[in-house]
């Protein structure tokens, strides 16, 4: 069943039940009050009659009873043995039960198809000194017709009240289901045609449905962004892998044709194949790393001074270069993944060593709200126009020169992704006399 039908059905049924409940209560309340009033009136009339009888002993009893006989009713004077002293009636009401009572009783009697009768019976002392019962019946035709009129009035009122409920249910269902329908249509279109369709956010109400639309649109933006990034990454990666693969292929074909009788060529080819295989391995490793960096590791505080000092030591040991380390404090805490941030410093140091021939300096410094790590070299520098581009995936300034240095163009984009995941920044300032890569991280003790 459609949501709109459910809403309409529910609101109409709910209102119908409510109206029925209220109107039934009104009907029965009115019925009870009105019957009580009839009995009360009849009792008063009976008392008046008894008083008149007592005060006028000389007047004919039948005349008196006649005078007090209700328009459609019956008066009986009943002896203890059930026989009648007198009986007056306007129509044939002989079937109405007679009761001898010792105290006043009031009741409503129902006769088959006829409207109800109200009856009051009370004991009185009759002329001869005997105790008899005087019983008065009154036919409730007026009450029955009033109740019938009330019934029709309430039925019509219920129907009139239901009409606005049905109309309100219709508008309510439209109000709720329209954004849901829009959302479903957009999702269907997106899945069928591979589109990135969004839905309009023009509502002024800023309610939950508006929130749902905004969230959906944000999700579409996010998915689109990720999809485009992924697509770009796959095309860049396949493009980058194509070159070493074609080099390997051409060298192996070369070896197959002429390698057997030319040892120099064999040597050159195997070396080229090996170096290309190394390059592909590095490329694949870094691509996997880039994909892995999306997962946030468990972050905990650690000393960045120790990290930079030990990295400087490792590089000093591995390369015969002038690598110096300086710091403004013995211990500086940052919050994050030690392994990931070590990788950032390794990438910066590796580049500094690769792209310069002179001294490399690594320094750690505490600033007002952050900790700064600078890696400085005196290499050829990076032209200003390229300074942002080097952080893009696979971007290398001078491809032929970089091929000699075995670069993949992925290092700095990995370093920046890790830094941003740590709420930090990675920038470069460079002149012809050298480059300084500046890593800035939040100070865990000041955060």
**Using the rule CB under 6 A, which residue among 75, 78, 88, 352 binds ligand ADP?**
352
Task: Report the 10 Å Cβ neighbour count for 177.
Answer: 17
**Using the rule CB under 6 A, which residue among 379, 416, 424, 440 binds ligand ADP?**
379
Tell me how many residues contact ligand ADP (CB under 6 A): 20
Please report how close the Cβ of residue 355 comes to ligand ADP at its closest, in angstroms: 4
Query: Among 183, 187, 186, which residue's Cα sits nearest to residue 213?
Result: 183
Query: Among 282, 271, 256, which residue's Cα sits nearest to residue 414?
Result: 282
Q: Which is nearer to ligand ADP, 64 or 397 (CB)?
A: 397
412 lies in the site for ligand ADP, by CB under 6 A: yes
C-beta separation of 334 from 366 below 8 A: no
C-beta separation of 352 from 375 below 8 A: yes
With CB under 6 A as the contact rule, which of the stretches 211-219, 272-280, 349-357, 365-373 interacts with ligand ADP? 349-357
Q: At what angle do helices 141-193 and 208-254 cross, to 10 degrees?
A: 20
**Using the rule CB under 6 A, which residue among 364, 390, 426, 441 binds ligand ADP?**
390
Residue nearest to ligand ADP (CB): 407
With CB under 6 A as the contact rule, which of the stretches 81-89, 152-160, 185-193, 404-412 interacts with ligand ADP? 404-412
Q: Of how many residues is the chain composed?
A: 447
- Lay out the sheet containing 370-377: strands in order across: 323-327, 360-366, 370-377, 434-442, 425-431
Q: Which is nearer to ligand ADP, 125 or 432 (CB)?
A: 432
Please report how close the Cβ of residue 394 comes to ligand ADP at its closest, in angstroms: 8
- Lay out the sheet containing 84-89: strands in order across: 84-89, 73-78, 131-139, 117-125, 105-109
C-beta separation of 104 from 121 below 8 A: yes
Please report how close the Cβ of residue 319 comes to ligand ADP at its closest, in angstroms: 14
Chain residues 121-140 in contact with ligand ADP, contact rule CB under 6 A: none
**Using the rule CB under 6 A, which residue among 377, 417, 418, 426 binds ligand ADP?**
377
Chain residues 57-86 in contact with ligand ADP, contact rule CB under 6 A: none
Phi first, then psi, for residue 118 (nearest 5°) are -100, 140
Distance between CA atoms of residues 262 and 258, nearest Å: 6
Q: Which is nearer to ligand ADP, 106 or 354 (CB)?
A: 354
Helical (H) or strand (E) element with 319? none
Beta bridge partners of 371: 366, 441
DSSP string, 408-431: -S-HHHHHHHHHHHTT-EEEEEEE
66 contact partners, CB below 8 Å, separation of at least 6? 88
With CB under 6 A as the contact rule, which of the stretches 2-10, 155-163, 234-242, 392-400 interacts with ligand ADP? 392-400
Please report how close the Cβ of residue 302 comes to ligand ADP at its closest, in angstroms: 24
With CB under 6 A as the contact rule, which of the stretches 94-102, 253-261, 364-372, 376-384 interacts with ligand ADP? 376-384
397 lies in the site for ligand ADP, by CB under 6 A: yes
**Using the rule CB under 6 A, which residue among 73, 169, 407, 424 binds ligand ADP?**
407
351 lies in the site for ligand ADP, by CB under 6 A: yes
Q: Applying CB under 6 A, which residues contact ligand ADP?
A: 347, 351-352, 355, 377, 379, 382, 390, 395-397, 402, 407-413, 435
């Amino acid at each position: 069943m459609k949501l709109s039908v459910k809403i309409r059905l529910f609101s109409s049924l709910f209102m119908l039940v409510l109206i029925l409940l209220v109107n039934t209560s009104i009907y029965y309340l009115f019925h009870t009050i009105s019957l009580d009033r009839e009995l009360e009136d009849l009792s008063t009339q009976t008392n008046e009659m008894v008083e008149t009888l007592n005060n006028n002993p000389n007047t004919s009893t039948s005349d008196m009873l006649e005078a007090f006989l209700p328009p459609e009713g019956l008066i009986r004077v009943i002896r203890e043995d059930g026989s009648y002293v007198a009986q007056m009636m306007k129509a044939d009401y002989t079937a109405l039960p007679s009761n001898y009572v010792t105290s006043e009783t009031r009741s409503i009697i129902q006769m088959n198809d006829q409207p109800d009768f109200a009856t009051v019976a009370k004991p009185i002392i009759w002329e001869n000194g005997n105790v008899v019962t005087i019983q008065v019946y009154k036919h409730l035709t007026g009450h029955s017709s009033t109740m019938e009129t009330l019934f029709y009035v309430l039925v019509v009122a219920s129907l009139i009240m239901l009409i606005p409920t049905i109309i309100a249910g219709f508008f309510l269902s439209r109000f709720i289901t329209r954004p849901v329908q829009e959302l479903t249509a957009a999702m269907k279109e997106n899945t069928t045609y591979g589109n990135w369709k969004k839905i309009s956010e023009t509502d002024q109400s800023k309610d939950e449905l508006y929130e749902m639309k905004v969230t959906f649109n944000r999700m579409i933006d996010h998915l689109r962004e990720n999809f485009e990034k992924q697509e770009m990454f796959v095309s860049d990666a396949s493009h980058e892998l194509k070159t070493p693969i074609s080099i390997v292929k051409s060298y192996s074909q070369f070896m197959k044709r002429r390698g057997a009788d030319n040892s120099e060529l064999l040597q050159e080819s195997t070396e080229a194949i090996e170096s290309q295989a190394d390059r592909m391995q590095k490329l694949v490793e870094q691509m996997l790393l880039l994909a892995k960096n999306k997962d946030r590791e468990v972050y905990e505080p650690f000393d960045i001074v120790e990290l930079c000092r030990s990295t400087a030591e490792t590089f000093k040991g591995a390369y015969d270069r002038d690598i110096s380390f300086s710091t403004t404090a013995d211990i500086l805490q940052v919050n994050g993944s030690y392994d990931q941030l070590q990788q950032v410093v390794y990438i910066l140091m590796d580049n500094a060593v690769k792209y310069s021939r002179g001294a490399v300096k690594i320094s750690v410094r505490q600033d007002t709200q952050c900790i700064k790590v600078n890696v400085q070299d005196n290499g050829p520098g990076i032209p200003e126009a390229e300074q942002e581009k080097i952080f893009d995936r696979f971007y290398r300034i001078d491809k032929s020169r970089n091929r000699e240095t075995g670069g993949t163009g992925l290092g700095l984009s990995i370093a920046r992704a890790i830094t941003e995941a740590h709420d930090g920044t990675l920038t470069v300032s460079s002149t012809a006399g050298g480059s300084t890569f500046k890593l800035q991280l939040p100070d865990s003790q000041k955060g």
